[in-house]
Amino acid sequence: MSINSVLCRDLGLQYPIFQGGMAYITTGKMAAASSNAGGLGLICSSGLTAADVAREVAVAKTLTDKPFGVNLMLQSPEIEKIMQIVLENKIPVVTMGAGDPTPFMPALLNAGVKVIPVIPHVKAAQKAAKAGAYAVVAEGTESGGHIGEMTTLALLPQVLAAVDIPVLAAGGIADGKSMAAMLLLGAAGVQIGTLFLVADECPIADAYKQSIINAIDTDTIVTGRGTPHVVRALKNPMSLKYAELEKQPGTQAERDRLADKASVKAVRGDVEGGCLMAGQISGLIKQGGSIAAIMQRLMREAEATLAGAGRLLG
């Protein structure tokens, strides 16, 4: 028995698992590995020029004949050019995080691109559905990176009740049991970030991977509350210092200095001065392995959990 999902049928996937776009991390090479493994790889365009995106798309195309997508950064100064690259390359799926996706939807929809906004609350999901989104990713505050307020468990059922399109669950999923739980709630699939950070094909420095493997449940911290940049990352000298400065008025310039290129520093292995974005589920992640092995493990566990769910009755 295997898991049925509308995502697999509509997007041509083997598994209903998205490897979420992650800034400065999910390159064409990593996205191709995720798609070859049976899920959907997403190239992240955050921090990239249009020329960079074109290069990453070309790399992915040489490495896979499976579908892959692009995660659009709507505030990018080159968003128009990046959109053009998506259309020219007939990218079948785009996801988009922060920002209002509606102005960009008509061009994408006209070209047959499946648009999947990542949303933090019901209103955003309804707006996306009304504008023609194929699906939404309901992303809970447990996630690594930029986050909203709602937890995955509270968000997902409310989004499912509010919209008539497929909903993926994201935030706090790093094993097949939680994936099965999301499917039981009605999710069409899952989007995962933090777990894929420790994958062999993930291009971050080993020191960053090791920080996730060493982390326990309470090792993440959220900074930027009350601003448009609410970020969850591992506690380290940089994030703790930032949080400390947030309590002191008049320290914005110092905070900006600390945050400058902090994600890039993390990717390169500066585990003291970098911003090690990662989710609350880091404490469960104790091993890496190839993306294919990780996806197969998730599917095996999810299928076994679903097959065994009947024993809870009677």
The length of the chain in residues reads 314
Q: How many Å apart are CA 298 and CA 182, to the nearest integer?
A: 13
Among 32, 105, 163, 192, binds ligand FMN (CB under 6 A): 192
For the CB of residue 110, give the shortest distance to ligand FMN in the complex, in Å.
23
Among 32, 44, 48, 50, binds ligand FMN (CB under 6 A): 44
Which residues are registered as beta bridge partners of 136? 167
Q: Cβ–Cβ contacts within 10 Å for residue 103, how many?
A: 11
Q: How many Å apart are CA 265 and CA 107, to the nearest integer?
A: 35
Q: Which is nearer to ligand FMN, 22 or 135 (CB)?
A: 22
Q: Which is nearer to ligand FMN, 8 or 169 (CB)?
A: 169
Number of residues engaging ligand FMN in binding (CB under 6 A):
28
Among 27, 64, 178, 191, binds ligand FMN (CB under 6 A): 191
Q: Which of residues 148-177 bind ligand FMN (CB under 6 A)?
A: 170-173
Write the interaction track for ligand FMN spanning residues 87-116; mark x where CB under 6 A is met and - where it is not: ----------x-------------------
For the CB of residue 181, give the shortest distance to ligand FMN in the complex, in Å.
14
Q: Which of residues 121-150 bind ligand FMN (CB under 6 A)?
A: 139, 142-145
21 near ligand FMN (CB under 6 A): yes
Q: How many Å apart are CA 76 and CA 52, to the nearest integer?
A: 13
Q: Which amino acid is at 248?
A: Q
39 near ligand FMN (CB under 6 A): no
23 near ligand FMN (CB under 6 A): yes
Contact stretch for ligand FMN (CB under 6 A) within 52-60, 74-82, 106-114, 277-285: 277-285
Residue with tokens 């703790």: 240
Query: Which residue has the closest beta carbon to ligand FMN?
Result: 193
Q: Give kind and range of the element (H or E) at residue 191.
A: strand 189-192
Q: Give kind and range of the element (H or E) at residue 181.
A: helix 176-185
Q: How many Å apart are CA 99 and CA 77, to the nearest integer?
A: 13
Residue with tokens 């940049």: 229
Q: How many Å apart are CA 166 and CA 296, to the nearest integer?
A: 23
Residue with tokens 């930032």: 242
Q: Which amino acid is at 55?
A: R
Q: Which is nearer to ligand FMN, 280 or 305 (CB)?
A: 280
Instruction: Give the binding site for ligand FMN (CB under 6 A).
Output: 20-23, 25, 44, 46, 71, 97, 118, 139, 142-145, 170-173, 191-195, 277-279, 281
